[in-house]
Structure 1
């Protein structure tokens, strides 16, 4: 009797604990509280209560802000006899976190321990197989579904179709669909989505029409799937037809549908229609604003994106990290450092989740706005960094002409054990090209070979450019001729390299070959290189001909740089009066550089009167240019006009000018002895 009393008392106490913990779990809102409840369960011996434990695992595995598959697995491993709901929760959690291989391994463990899947398990497994295109396991699971008599379950079969579509086996998915005795809206949407994912928009819309004919009403997911397909393929007419269907069925006020419509129009470049759609949504949310702001950025309307963001700030809707990344991109393109700094401050106040994605956008913004110290500061304050963080800063240094810092940062990157990607290597090769750092460029080339880095055209162009600018013409030509495909940058790099290093005739021959092949049409940079080649080879008539062909044959309006090349061509050939006449007849205002080129030629050819006239033209444009005074003084000195030399020097003294000292730079002993070198 006494034993029965104590046993009953113990059971009552256990039941009370059970009820209390159940109530606490029901109202639990954060991880800290959940950890306390979990500790209480262990203390009271209720850790083996499958109902209570299933609630904890569900808390960590359901898509939410509390998702933590690692914590869920630790709880799961403490359970001696998990029920099927717990197994399903864990498999779903792994699938949700895209750890599909772990999901399939757990399913094998579940079968080994004698548990059989139910109608909730199979759709999760099909999704896991689809994520990693695990065709063989997916087929085995399909076979199990048929064997266990689940082929009439539309939810399970829809999962099977989704798996085949994700694995690019759309014909098999269609066969499964056609064999279904009954098809609900989920089944129709799944097969429509399968075709849409493979850009088979025509087939998707045919199925959509058939679906309506068979009396199945599309749901939001169906419409969103088709709108997404139209946006991705920029099929504006199809999207507009779908918009008409939305209006006919009075779905335009639905926020999710409205956002999808606006996104479709934005991707098709119709921002006016996107704005019009969202104006009619009564309950706009953060996604609505993000669609518009992101759409403006994607379509190059960066000022409009910033204006819209300011409007969003004045509303009651709070931006998220997607908003911030889009606006930072707009700031980067506009060079709006002030707005970018305000966004950085907003992020630092912990009002936005400061992850790698946001950090990389901040680095890019600061670098594009020319504030490399700010970019470096963000880089160092980031709690985590990935390859894109390193690449963004390295690229920023290269674009900011701080080439040595770019190479030094790459050295830090290697010490950190981060492997470069193609973009990193292209930026580094560009730095080597600008510095003339041939040894370091060769090391990067050796790294590409050693690590079997895939040579895309961008990377090959960078190698050609590096070798060509460093004067290693033979290596540049070898890579150039080995390219399976060439674009305008390939030809320009090689022609420019040849011209730069005195191989003028070879550069012209290559340009002729480029015209004959017809693979790429020449652009302004091509003609700059060609005119430079003519200059170094003394090919005056040919240079004039190429200059005239720019507008007559290729419709390219010559820039100030091209006019400068012609002036240099004539000046080096001693045709100074012709060069002067050419400048006078230019349709654009000459700059001090063009006049300076002719003044240098006057010094070489001792043309005093012409030199004096040109110097006066430069004084009007750049009165504080020291080099003009020095050149004019040297012209006078060459012909013995010492009074004029003293007069010019006196003018320099009066203006507080000093003759600049000459200097040269050269890479000594390669990267191995340089403190700023790079090793691979």
Structure 2
């Protein structure tokens, strides 16, 4: 973790806050953040500039917190975690009086958790999670996906599962991360269980949910449940045309030994990509499908189509 910039003279890019763009001081405020250098100078000059501006008190607090939040996001994005944490302490102090306090804090925590995951800083991430719980933000729609991703990054999938299950979020993102993590760890039973739990909580799966679930079915040769998932996919018109999902279906049926259905789905895909072609070819090659059903002509036709379309066979 490189935080050497905390003492450097490097300029800190920071956009003007939304409040300042509506006032007569907008020009100065837009210029000011780009001219500030060191971290301490940044905090002091932003504070002094806004405090002595003509903004009403409430807008001053919003403006200050907004400027600091933007700077925090930039620092977190660049991997300057300690600087971002220092800015966060100021946000907590100055955003308390702001009407948008929850928004500033949640947005800042989201950036910090993402940075902790990217920089593999488990202890700091856990401290932030403790703060989230203390402030009663553990079910925030913005923070739950970040917390699930954070713990999944470090392999703490049980913790990630608890966070997802304890939330009341209807968006599939945290569940997608959870199911994908289970599959990556080879915990296929738990991936399918999480998918079923997701349904019980009335969270609607999307195009990113099904490929992971279908892979879990394929790895367990669970054709029966794979067909149930296929029925749900067919009930959504957009998913029936989704290449990502259809490729996963081809792979699932092929690995479960139902090559006829895999071939049928493959032939109905209008815009096949390289993965589509290589998937069906590898399925037939690995299971001896062409020999078992005697369909040499179809195999040769498939190879000719690949060559005509300029698709490479891996």
TM-score greater than 0.5 by the shorter chain? yes
Residues 244-255 of structure 1: matches in 2 within 5 Å? 244-255=130-141
Is 2:217–2:225's contact at 8 Å kept on the other side of the alignment?
yes
Q: Tell me whether 1:325 sits opposite 2:218 in the alignment.
A: no
Find the partner of 1:339 among 215, 222, 225. 225
Aligned pairs (5 A) from 1:15-164:
150=27, 152-153=29-30
Aligned-partner Cα distance in 2 for 1:270–1:173: 40
Alignment of 1:544-555 (within 5 A): none
8 Å CA contact retained: 2:73, 2:84: no
Is 1:290 matched up with 2:290?
Answer: no
> C-alpha separation between the residues in 2 aligned to 1:407 and 1:193?
55
Instruction: Indicate the SS of the match to 1:317.
Output: coil
Alignment partner, residue 277 of structure 2: 390
One of 157, 167, 179 as aligned partner of 1:271? 157
* 1:365 alignment partner in structure 2: 252
Match of residue 306 from structure 2:
413
Matches within 5 A, 1:124-273: 150=27, 152-153=29-30, 182=46, 184-198=64-78, 200=79, 203-213=80-90, 215-217=93-95, 218-273=104-159
Matched, 1:374 2:270: no
Q: Which has the larger radius of gyration?
A: 1
Q: Provide structure 1 residue ranges, at least 5 long, that are not aligned to the other structure.
A: 1-122, 124-148, 162-171, 426-680
Larger RCO (alpha carbons 8 Å, 6+ apart): 2
Please give the per-residue CA displacement for 1:468-524, whole angstroms capped at 9, x wherever unaligned: xxxxxxxxxxxxxxxxxxxxxxxxxxxxxxxxxxxxxxxxxxxxxxxxxxxxxxxxx
| CA–CA distance in structure 1, aligned partners of residues 180 and 246 of structure 2 | 18
SS in 2 for 1:153: helix
Q: In 2, are the aligned partners of 1:329 and 1:361 still within 8 Å (CA)?
A: yes
State the match for 1:56 in structure 2: none
Structure 2 spans left out of the alignment, 5+ residues: 1-14, 16-25, 47-62, 96-103, 291-295
Question: Contact (CA 8 Å) 2:170, 2:202: kept in 1 or not?
Answer: no
- TM-score under structure 2 length normalisation: 0.68
Normalised to the residue count of structure 1, the TM-score between the two structures is 0.34
Counterpart for residue 57 of structure 2: none
Contact map agreement 1:266 1:295 (CA 8 A) in 2: yes
Q: Please report how far the alpha carbon of residue 327 of structure 1 lies from its aligned counterpart in structure 2 after TM superposition.
A: 0.8
Per-residue CA distance 1:616-658 (angstroms, 9 max, x = gap): xxxxxxxxxxxxxxxxxxxxxxxxxxxxxxxxxxxxxxxxxxx
8 Å contact kept, 1:266–1:292: yes
Say if 1:258 and 1:278, in contact at 8 Å, map to a contact too. Answer: yes
Task: Find the counterpart in structure 1 of residue 287 from structure 2.
Answer: 400
CA contact (8 A) 1:177 1:187 kept: no
